Chain A
Amino acid sequence: MSTVNNNNTDFEVRSLDAMCVNEEEVKTPGWHNLKYLAFGVLFGIILIKSEVVSWFRIQEMFRLQSFHMFGVIGSAVVVGAISVFLIKKFKIKTINGETILLPNKTFNKGQIYGGLIFGFGWAMTGACPGPLFAQLGYGAAAVSVTILMATVGTWVYGKLREKLPH
């Protein structure tokens, strides 16, 4: 990790991450990004209406006092897994006719250390990154502080990355 430089870091770093390795080869105009805005709006409404963004629901989950969050995440994974299975089995293409890429993730210890750290933050703020943006939109203006600090946390990780065990 310590030998990365600006020339070769792009793919190396991107491939370590949850996303970013696949991009459309077909050039589309910038306004096509509005489809992601639309999906985001839909997702935001779902997060609010299912009360997944509720700090209280997260506390119930981590105290095993309610099935709600486990039901939401569990059924989301089942539907997502069936979808991915069907996409692979029938080699479904994108609307632009491209092959759908599903990169494999490689294990590193960061998934454990970072996972635990995120778990601490999740139980404290009652929100993972998606719900933070939905809470802010819903009117919890002070959550902007939490989002700003999450961005700072991301930056500090990037700064310390070479020194952390992976």
Chain B
Amino acid sequence: MTVIELIKQPWPWYVAGPLIGLMVPALLIFGNKTFGISSSLRHVCAACVPAKIPFFSYDWKKEIWNLFFVFGIFLGGILAAMFFKNEAAILLNADLVIELSTYGVNDTSGLIPADLFSWSSLGTLRGFVLMVLGGFLVGFGTRYAGGCTSGHAIMGLSNLQLPSLIATISFMAGGFIMANLILPYILSL
């Protein structure tokens, strides 16, 4: 098996997790930056539509490294699609596949369900709710919480910050409530 073939396989958690963890010291040592992603959205607001709101009235150019980082993630996605794409469908828990099929979500081959997240599904009620309302909640919630999975769950917990533990528990609680109690109704729309 060549190296490229090896890279094309799905990476197990014990490879990917430690590599993600190494982002923390890498950013600290190479530029005194704390790992975090959701703030980039704030910098975009500050750069484009500050509207004299105090929360967006700061020198976003000082934080431009974060926009480079985020643009890199986007480029990384492109490169992964060009060179390291795994053509095989990802292996999912059988219970999940059965549950989703009851909502007409049958295509489980890609990374995101084409039945829910696509231009055509944007015109359906459930697609609209998932993409438009879901996206809004991600942006609103991360900023309200002061960080997302990277800033709180990974960077904050690595630095043993109690507020980050509280935030991470809240993320998980919100996710469990949505996925198990509310999402079934949204998928039935």
Taking Cβ atoms with an 8 Å cutoff, the residues of B that contact A are 7, 10-42, 44-45, 49, 51, 53-59, 62-66, 68-81, 84, 86, 90, 92-93, 95-96, 100, 108, 111-113, 116-119, 121-122, 129-164, 166-180, 182-183, 186
Contacts and interface: CB of A to CB of B under 8 A. Distances in A.
Contact of A36 (B44, B68, B159): B68
Contacts of B38: 18, 128-129, 154
15 contacts: A4-B54, A40-B68, A49-B11, A51-B11, A58-B179, A61-B175, A62-B175, A63-B179, A76-B154, A83-B22, A83-B24, A113-B170, A122-B175, A132-B135, A133-B73
A103 B32 CA distance: 11
B5 to A, nearest CB: 13
Contacts of B77: 44-45, 47-48, 53, 133-139
Instruction: Pick from B59, B63, B69, B118 the residue with the most CB of A within 10 Å.
Output: B69
Interface size class of A (residues with CB under 8 A): 35 or more
A154 B143 contact: yes
Contacts, number: 547
Contacts of A159: 51, 53, 55
Interface in A64-105: 65-69, 71-81, 83-84, 86-87, 92, 94-95, 98, 100-105
